Amino acid sequence: MPTASTLVAAALSGLLSTGSGGGAELVLRLHDPALVESSGLAVSGRHDGVLWTNPDGGEVAQVMAVDGSGDTVATVMLDGIDPYDPEALAPGPDGRSLWLGDLGDNLEERPDVSVFRFTEPRRLGDRTVPARWFRFTYPDGPHDAEALLVNPSTGRLLVATKALGGAGLYRAPARLVAEDEGTNRLERVADVPSLVTDGAFLPDGRFVLRSYTTAYVYDRPGHQVASAPLPRQPQGETVADDSLDSPGSLLVGSEGEDSAVYRVPVPGDAADPSTSAARSSGDSASEERRSGDSASEERGSGRQAEDEAWWRASRVARAVVAVVALVGIVAVLRRRRR
């Protein structure tokens, strides 16, 4: 029987177009039913052709290794961790560690959020591994968030919150204290687009934030340098840097049954088909930059409107699914009474 999330994704796929995603290449589909709500994505630093992803929520903190066919080849559980709402996954700068972000807070009521750091196993297989636990608080009250980024040069963490308006980018302290030693206070450093669902650093220090419909590239907090629409997906949730396998590329994924992971160019790079032809014109560099920033702002405003429309439609779709489920339960109970 389809889950509620599957029904919502199916309903939404026909409600809104989420961008053409020029240059997108299908990489794989996630076949594991446990990954119907795939919420984080990272390329393995130890195992060629392997992606790590984590399911949304659940009673245990776990990540799955997926091979090039989309099959789960390992499930790794974090020892002693009882999560609240894991939403993000990011690779560490050492090429061996992964960071799982327990950042979800739909009701915006958590006094703190958590991030767990663990080491990729040398051999793939189901196992339980130790993890180091870090707690964080926001300076301006609770927020819902789904994006965790780890700087590949410094190891410093960024968290992007998810909201219809007023969302922000928060930076962690340079030196973290573990959960048994205290709590780390985040610092707000910039605004971000509405409804950010994931993010990833690029090797050159730029970083990408994605929404349901769009990828945004920044060369520093608060300074967007490019954006591009992403492939149509039921509920676009994840993004990962794919430079290990395909320099200048990103991987983007979605929630949903048998959901697809696509490879797309980094917006603004040479391989990106949406890159403005003005790059090769005879205009001065300063004029290109000014016109590019203006166009980027206009496109970004339109795409944020698309995200907000998608989000509102998703609320309607979820309400419809809830009503249908309730009607079904009532019908079953009535039959049992006869």
CA 136 to chain centre: 19
- Residues 6 or more apart whose Cβ sits within 8 Å of residue 194: 163, 164, 165, 167, 211, 304, 307, 308, 311
Are the C-beta atoms of 113 and 98 separated by less than 8 Å?
A: no
Strand pairing category for 97-102 and 127-129: unpaired
Are the C-beta atoms of 100 and 79 separated by less than 8 Å?
A: no
Share of the chain above pLDDT 70, in %: 74
Mean pLDDT calculated for residue range 40-45 = 98
Band of the pLDDT at 58, cuts 50, 70, 90? confident
- Which residue's structure tokens are 């040398």? 122
Round to whole Å and give the CA distance between 310 and 211.
10
CA 302 to chain centre: 21
Round to whole Å and give the CA distance between 161 and 69.
32
Band of the pLDDT at 12, cuts 50, 70, 90? very low
Total Cβ atoms within 10 A of residue 78: 23
Round to whole Å and give the CA distance between 108 and 90.
23
Q: CATH for 4-337, among 1.10.287, 2.60.40, 2.70.50, 2.120.10?
A: 2.120.10
Give the residue, 96 or 328, on which the prediction is more confident: 96
Residue 179 is classified by DSSP as T
Give this prediction's pTM. 0.82
Round to whole Å and give the CA distance between 103 and 162.
10
Give the residue, 334 or 194, on which the prediction is more confident: 194
- Which residue's structure tokens are 């419809």? 320
pLDDT of residue 59: 85
**Per-residue pLDDT for 114 more than 80?**
yes
Residue 301 is classified by DSSP as H
User: Closest by alpha carbon to 51, among 244, 202, 212?
Assistant: 244
**Per-residue pLDDT for 186 more than 70?**
yes
What are the residue boundaries of the structural domains of the chain, listed by start? 4-337
Round to whole Å and give the CA distance between 70 and 77.
20
Round to whole Å and give the CA distance between 49 and 68.
6
